[in-house]
Amino acid sequence: MTYGNFVSSEDGPRLSLLDQLLELGRTHWDTARGYGDSEELISNWFKRTEKCDQIFLVTKFGVDSSQPGGLRANGTPKYAEKCFNDYLEKLGVDIISLARKIRHIGLSQPSPATIRRAHKVHPIAAIQVEYSPFERLIEQQEHLLEIARELVTAVMAYSPLGKGLLTEQTTSQDHFSDGDFRKQIRKYSQENFQKILKLIDGFKQIGKVHDATSGQVALAYLLEQGDDIIPISWSQCIECIKEIFGGSRTKLTTEELQTPRKLVDETKIIGSQHPPALRAMLYADTPELP
């Protein structure tokens, strides 16, 4: 599960939700400094339950907002060490699953050249990219998916439900709150919503055969792309989480697996999947080692 923006004035319901995630066997938890107070919350949960060893914890660094001018990429050794030490102190754990400070190294939305360069230094356990029927750039971006598989690198697929749109809960951009970052994404503009709703309806039609929701169809599609694809998603509602992971029990036929791809291609929804401030940092090349 990925944490996302889980904001509440009370820790009780949120800690209870983490309890239930463990009971459901959802023990892959993905967080980051930018996800609200997620690290403090998880730290409180670890202290309360003493079950840190049962959680595969993933966190991220590299987007620095401490300098004037807004967000910028910062992967310097000094910044990396600062982030690791801050994480360990804040989380109250000895090891972050994904740097003796960690067990594994991953990259978030790297370019093909960057993942190859990094792999020469140390095996890369996973890359994290947006991947769903709605967003398949990983299949096209200079064969990034093929390269990951060549290097035996898993793919953590974030936003497997199209940033929540494939859950049928949002039918208009007016449903986005004022602070919702999706308002900054051109692909989710109001002018595109009729196309988005048409696309969702196509997923619903597939789901009717399997007594499944459109979101479960989207997740089933993604899971069939390979055992190395690990969807990470989030909801503040435990029943919604149970529904989402019902997609792991939905089995699509060979023909049905082609339909989501075909629907998305035919719908032709124009625009980027990411806010402007992040685009320059995604899939970026890094300088070659001497």
DSSP 145-196: HHHHHHTT-EEEEE-TTTTTGGGT---SGGGS-TT-GGGG-GGGSGGGHHHH
Question: Do 95 and 183 reside in the same domain of the chain?
Answer: no
pTM score, two decimals?
A: 0.85
On whether residue 112 sits in a domain, the answer given is no
CATH of the domain at 229: 3.20.20.100
Q: Which of 84, 104, 124 is the last residue of a domain?
A: 104
On whether residue 144 sits in a domain, the answer given is no
On whether residue 51 sits in a domain, the answer given is yes
pLDDT confidence band for 36 (50 / 70 / 90): confident
Dmax over Cα atoms in the chain, in whole Å? 56
Domain count within the chain: 2
Q: Is the pLDDT of residue 72 over 70?
A: yes
Q: Residue 214 and residue 199: Cα distance in Å, rounded?
A: 10
Between the alpha carbon of residue 188 and those of residues 80, 169, 259, the distances in Å are 33, 14, 22
Q: Is 283 a catalytic residue?
A: no
Question: Do 73 and 176 reside in the same domain of the chain?
Answer: no
Residue 190: φ, ψ to 5°: -60, -35
**Span of 14-23, 58-67, 124-133, 194-203 with lowest mean pLDDT:** 58-67
Question: Do 163 and 78 reside in the same domain of the chain?
Answer: no
For the record, the structure tokens of 154 come out as: 């898993």
For the record, the structure tokens of 74 come out as: 């910062």
**Span of 57-61, 158-162, 170-174 with lowest mean pLDDT:** 170-174
H or E element at residue 215: helix 214-223
Residue 48 sits in which domain range? 1-104
Question: Do 188 and 262 reside in the same domain of the chain?
Answer: yes
Q: Is the pLDDT of residue 233 over 70?
A: yes
Question: Do 10 and 83 reside in the same domain of the chain?
Answer: yes
* Given the residues 35, 87, 131, 221, the one annotated as active site: 35
On whether residue 278 sits in a domain, the answer given is yes
Q: How far apart are the first and last CA of the chain?
A: 38
Per-residue pLDDT tens over the stretch 73-104: 888 888 888 888 888 888 776 656 655 567 89
The pLDDT assigned to 101 comes to: 66
